[in-house]
Amino acid sequence: MYSDIFCKVYNEFGWNYYPEAFAEQLLQWLSVNGVKPKTAMDLACGTGVLCEILRENGIASAGMDFSSGMIDIARQRCPEIPYEVADMTVFCPERQYDLVTCTGDAINHIGALSDVETIFRNVYAYTAQGGYFIFDLLKESEVSDSEPFEMDFTESTRVWFQMVRPAEDQVELHIRVWENGTLQFEEVIRETIHDVAEVCRLLEKAGFSVLRCADRMLEDGGHGTTWFVIAQKN
C-alpha cells in the first residue's frame, strides 16, 4: 500500500505521465475502431488522471484504488468522479461498465497469478456485454537495475530512487524521502513481471477474447515501452 507521502511524490513528481500517455493511445484506439463507451471503471486509478481525461471526453468514469492517499488526490482533482478505496483482488461491483481500464503497471503490483486470474474473472462480471478491458503490463526488456537517482523535490524535501531487479521476475522501486536533512520514510514498491502470454491465457480462461497484445495500441502510435492488452467480452 502506498504511503501518503509517496502518493504526494507520485502526483507531483511527474508519474502522471503514464496515465496521460495511456489515455492518448486509448482515445485514438477508440476513435479508429468506432468504439463509444458511455461508462468506464479505472482499476487502481491512482491520482485519477485517466478518469479525468475520460470524463473530459464524454465518458462517465469511476475509479478505485486501495491507497487512500491516491484516492484523496483523485477526489481533489475532480470531486464529481465517484471514487472508492478498495482492493481489486476482491472488488466486484454489481453494475457493469462499457470500458474497464488499469494502467501504470498496476497488474504487476499483483504478485500471484492466481490473484490476477481472480481479478480477470471479476472484471469479466462487471464488463458489459461487448465491452472492453484495456490495461498495460511491464515489458521485461524495459526493466533493469538502475543507478540511484536523487533530487530536490522541494526546497526542504529531498527524494532518492533506485530500481532493482532482485530476481528474474521481480522489480523493486526503492524510495527515500528526507525533510530538512532528516530521513522521513523509506518505501519499497514490489512488482512482478508476469509472462504476457500467460496473462492473455488467463483472460481467455475468464471468458474474454484478446483482440490485441502488443507494445502499442495502434500500429503507428505509442512509445513501445510497455505491453498493452485489449480484451473484449463478447
Ligand X SMILES: C[S@@+](CC[C@H](N)C(=O)[O-])C[C@H]1O[C@@H](n2cnc3c(N)ncnc32)[C@H](O)[C@@H]1O
Question: Applying CB under 6 A, which part among 42-50, 72-80, 205-213, 220-228 lies near ligand X?
Answer: 42-50
Phi/psi for 148 (5° steps) reads: -60, 145
Choose among 162, 148, 37, 43: nearest CA to 99. Answer: 37
Pick 106 or 231: Cβ nearer ligand X: 106
Does 11 help bind ligand X (rule: CB under 6 A)? no
45 binds ligand X (CB under 6 A): yes
Nearest Cα to 228, choosing from 126, 120, 131, 101? 101
Question: For ligand X, which is the closer residue by CB, 90 or 234?
Answer: 90
Residue 81 touches ligand X, criterion: CB under 6 A: no
Answer yes or no whether residue 106 interacts with ligand X by CB under 6 A.
Answer: yes
65: contact with ligand X by CB under 6 A: yes
In the numeric block, which cell numbers belong to residue 200?
Answer: 492473455
What does the alpha-carbon distance between residue 23 and residue 95 come to, in Å, rounded to a whole number?
23
Candidate ranges 63-71, 124-132, 151-159, 210-218; the one touching ligand X (CB under 6 A): 63-71
- CA separation, residue 33 to residues 26, 57, 142, 217 (Å): 11, 16, 29, 11
Nearest CB to ligand X, comparing residues 88 and 193: 88
Which of 65, 60, 57, 67 is closest to 29 using CA atoms?
57
Q: Is 46 in the site for ligand X (CB under 6 A)?
A: yes
Strands 60-65 and 39-43: parallel
| Span from 33-41, 104-112, 210-218, 225-233 in contact with ligand X (CB under 6 A) | 104-112
Q: Minimum Å distance from CB 162 to ligand X?
A: 16
- Which residues contact ligand X by CB under 6 A? 2, 18-19, 44-46, 49, 65-67, 70, 87-89, 103-106, 109
